[in-house]
Structure 1
Amino acid sequence: MHSPSKLLTTLALAAALSACGGKNDGRSVSEVAIDPDAERTAHETALAEYPKARLHTDAGDIVIALHADKAPETVRNFRAYAETGHYDGTVFHRVAGDLLIQGGAYTADYRIKPERGFIRSESDNGLRNLRGTVAAARRANDADSAGAQFFINVVDNPQFDFVSAADAASRGYAVFGEVVEGMAVVDALRKTPVESRPGIGAQVPKAPIVIRRVTVED
């Protein structure tokens, strides 16, 4: 099986050359205009080869393509939590409708679930916090503190992208997946009414949004 990243590059380049009559007229590859539609198709084709995580929620299923090539440690960590049942019965405990929805920490009665420990950040992997991407949540002051929690970007969030290794804020949040099915479910969840709950936050859904289970397929 071809590497998804290599396949994406090959398909995008092929589409560009095809759009120019099959040749580049002496121009470098960087000078050849790439058809956005062809590039999007190539991206979707590449995503089809990634392992997928299916979140079975009360509102419907959300399918996430996992970027194991770009964020291997973060994907292994997420898969380990999923395959051991950690996410079963957890909730999306934070709904910031203009930013993200976040889950992976609490049960439906808001008891926190124990985590195994932290992993190093893989935020410097070239992936951006665009709408529909999935990133590892962490402590604001420690870039290497990701555990079981994750969030789905409901809009483009460039402020979460890696800038430099200077400090935790500049290191951003590591993207490790992308929603490929069920974005309508995500958009419905972002409209959920929220309330403040002591010890958890100010953007907690009034009615729990439960993740019944998470299954992963290669």
Structure 2
Amino acid sequence: MKRGFILLAGLMAATAVLAGPRVELVTNMGTLEVELNDTAAPATVANFLRYVDDGSYDGSIFHRLIPGFVVQGGGFDTDYKNLPTYSPVVNESNNGLDNQTGTIAMARTQDPNSATRQFYINLNDNQSLNGGRKVGYTVFGKVTAGDEVLAKMAKVDTGMNMQLRARDVPEQDIVLQQVRRLNNSQASH
């Protein structure tokens, strides 16, 4: 019996060590926490954390919202001006992670290796984004706290934004007020 408890405790400790970096996204609608999978998507996670660590996600917005699909942000300030980017990251979509409800993934153009700073959170299971025969969109983590915040975001009305020449733009700003890494003692469990 004692041996079973020791084995279980050892497995729990190993699992805790394997948990990826955690990031807090404080928005004007509430706070989300995401756990990043740096094992499945090491280049993508390193890229995302570069923007987190330099503070350049702070004050950016979620500029695209399609209820039942995705909420996308990180690339524009509240005046809809493009934010500076680092070099694009290599596509890691064949990493075994799917675009499922609550996962975070990189936005990109038609070029599979064009992702820079924009990311999205899946509001539904989006198999079409996994790629199938084509190269998909790289999933690199999942929301671990704040599902109610995503639900609140999904209810925001959207419309056409002539400045962006884009549809599906939230009519109420959804602002990323602060984005920061969490240490294990700060993360929700």
User: Structure 1-normalised TM-score?
Assistant: 0.74
Q: Which residue of 1 aligns with 2:22?
A: 52
- Unaligned runs of 5+ residues in structure 1 are 1-9, 15-41, 165-169
Give yes or no for contact 1:127–1:175 (8 Å, CA) kept in 2. yes
**Which of 40, 58, 78 does residue 108 from structure 1 map onto?**
78
Q: Which residue of 1 aligns with 2:186?
A: none
Structure of higher CA gyration radius = 1
Q: CA deviation at 1:47?
A: 9.6
Query: Structure 1 residues 47 and 180, CA, compared in 2 at 3 Å: closer, same or farther?
Result: farther
Q: Which residue of 2 aligns with 1:215?
A: 180
Q: Which residue of 2 aligns with 1:156?
A: 125
Give yes or no for contact 1:97–1:191 (8 Å, CA) kept in 2. yes
Q: CA deviation at 1:163?
A: 2.2
Give yes or no for contact 1:47–1:65 (8 Å, CA) kept in 2. no
Q: CA deviation at 1:58?
A: 0.4
**Which of 144, 151, 166 does residue 201 from structure 1 map onto?**
166
Counterpart CA distance in 2 for 1:200 and 1:73 is: 31
Q: CA deviation at 1:49?
A: 2.2
Q: Which residue of 1 aligns with 2:47?
A: 77
Q: Which residue of 1 aligns with 2:57?
A: 87
Counterpart CA distance in 2 for 1:210 and 1:161 is: 27
CA RMSD of aligned residues (A): 2.0
Aligned length: 172
Paired residues for 1:35-46 under 5 Å: none
Q: CA deviation at 1:48?
A: 8.0
The AA in structure 2 aligned to 1:158 is: Q
Counterpart CA distance in 1 for 2:17 and 2:71 is: 22
Paired residues for 1:21-36 under 5 Å: none
> Does structure 1 residue 180 correspond to structure 2 residue 149?
no
> Does structure 1 residue 138 correspond to structure 2 residue 108?
yes
The AA in structure 1 aligned to 2:128 is: Q
- Unaligned runs of 5+ residues in structure 2 are 1-6, 184-189
The AA in structure 2 aligned to 1:120 is: V
Counterpart CA distance in 2 for 1:116 and 1:131 is: 28
> Does structure 1 residue 117 correspond to structure 2 residue 81?
no
As a proportion of its length, which structure holds more helix? 1
Counterpart CA distance in 1 for 2:35 and 2:17 is: 6
The CA deviation string for residues 106-139 of structure 1, in whole angstroms up to 9 with x for no partner, is: 1112111111121110000000000000000000
Q: Which residue of 2 aligns with 1:127?
A: 97
Query: Structure 1 residues 196 and 161, CA, compared in 2 at 3 Å: closer, same or farther?
Result: same
As a proportion of its length, which structure holds more strand? 2
**Which of 59, 63, 78 does residue 33 from structure 2 map onto?**
63
Q: CA deviation at 1:59?
A: 0.6
Give yes or no for contact 1:66–1:177 (8 Å, CA) kept in 2. yes
The AA in structure 1 aligned to 2:136 is: G
Counterpart CA distance in 2 for 1:94 and 1:79 is: 22
